Amino acid sequence: MSCGCTPVRKRLENVGAVLPIVLLLGMLIVVPLIAVLAGAFSAGAGAVAATLRDGAVRDAVLLSVAAAVVAVAFNAAFGLLAGWTIAKYRFAGKALLVTLIDAPLTVSPVIVGLAVLATLGQHTPAGAWLAAHGLRVAFAPAGVALATTLVTFPYVARAVIAQMTAHGRIYEEAALGLGAGPWQTFRRVTFPLARASFLNGLLICNARALGEFGAVTVVSGNVRGLTQTIPLQIADFYDGARVPAAFALAAALAAVAVILALTARLFARRDTSTKGLSA
């Protein structure tokens, strides 16, 4: 960097530029993280361990993991399909399709929950039909998984679409020209190029799925051991005046989510080097 100033001035300028924002973000983001930990350990490490061994917590973890698995698997498969469709073909209405895919990002989770009830609730034709065939959705684990899937729908697709669009279609055209089939082209050419973005989206989607609260609040019914997810269990502990337990579970969930996000960041960084946009 060529700067027409003395090293001391440059150093001072650097500190002036960096320090305030580091302090501000520390105040805004790091202090709350520390507060979660302090809250968790306010009743001692033994209490934290006891909370995490609680039977209700175990059930909540199982449901959250199951819902996240469903959401991530479905959204990952869809993300690849959507990426391929939108990046590699021309068609009318592409902007509309992308808008619809992104919609759940901005629609309030509460409204997404309402949408699940309005589509598959007990009093809707589809919901009644499913219930008659033994699959209850509203206020049942299936509804929790569905709501989670809807809320996290755009995350893999967004990342993959951006990356595949950035690469254009020359590689695919070359592969096809050399005699490869479409599936082979996707597997050998398109997917490897988009893999970093795909994994980034996958992990982000997973973190969001585990922490989903608003939509699940509406469709869950909060039955302990049946439809209670980790975030709902945290709220239940909190309302049960077991605040240290709430923070202990919150800290554990936050730790998992943070690890997922940090891993995702590694993939995202790999992908900015190829000029992809990932938000």
Partner 1 sequence: MNRIVVALLAVLLAVAPAGARAAGGAITLLNVSYDPTRELYAAYNPLFAAFWKRKTGQDVTVRQSHGGSGAQARAVIEGLEADVVTLALAYDVDAVAQNSSVLARDWQRRLPDASSPYTSTIVFVVRKGNPKHIHDWSDVARSGVSVVTPNPKTSGGARWNFLAAYAYGLKRNHNDETKARTLVAQIYKNAAVLDTGARGSTISFSERQIGDVLIAWENEAFFLQRTSPREGYEIIVPSVSILAEPPVAVVDGNARKHGTEAVAQAYLQFLYSPEAQRLACREGYRPRLTAVLGTCGTRFARSDLVTIANFGGWQAAQAKFFADGGVYDQVYGR
Partner 2 sequence: MTRDPIPGRVAALAATSAIVALVVVVPLAAVVWAAHGVAPARLASLLVAPRTLAAFGLTFGASAAASLLDVLLGVWAAWVLTTRTFPGRALLDAVVDMPFALPTAVTGITLATLYGPHGWIGAPLLQHGIRVAYTPLGIVLALAFVGLPFVVRTVQPVLADLPRDLADAARGLGASPLAVARRITIPLALPAIATGFALSFARTLGEYGSVVFIAGNFPGRTEIVPLLVLTHLEEYDQAGAAAIATVMLAAALGLVLAINALQRHVVRVHAGA
Kindly compute the dihedral angle of the four CA atoms of residues 32, 33, 35, 36, in this order, to the nearest 10 degrees: 120
Give the binding range for partner 1 (CB under 8 A) out of 21-29, 80-88, 94-102, 237-245: 237-245
| 197 interacts with partner 2 by CB under 8 A | no
Residue closest to 16 by CA, chosen among 30, 5, 2: 5
How far the first Cα of the chain sits from its last, in Å, is: 29
| 278 interacts with partner 2 by CB under 8 A | yes
Are the beta carbons of 219 and 144 closer than 8 angstroms? yes
Residue closest to 214 by CA, chosen among 232, 230, 228: 232
Position among 35, 45, 135, 223 found at the interface with partner 2 (CB under 8 A):
35
* Residues 44-83 as x/- pattern, contact with partner 1 by CB under 8 A: ------------------xx-xxx-xx-xx----------
Token couple for 208: 């969001």
- Residue nearer to partner 1 on the CB measure, 67 or 215: 67
Binding partner of 236, given partner 1, partner 2, none, CB within 5-8 angstroms per partner class: partner 1
Position among 224, 265, 269, 275 found at the interface with partner 1 (CB under 8 A):
224
Residue closest to 152 by CA, chosen among 86, 107, 217: 107
Shortest Cβ 204–partner 1 spacing (Å): 14
| Sign (positive or negative) of CA dihedral 175, 179, 185, 189 | negative
Among positions 128-147, residues that touch partner 1 (CB under 8 A) are 131, 136, 138-139, 141
| 253 interacts with partner 2 by CB under 8 A | yes
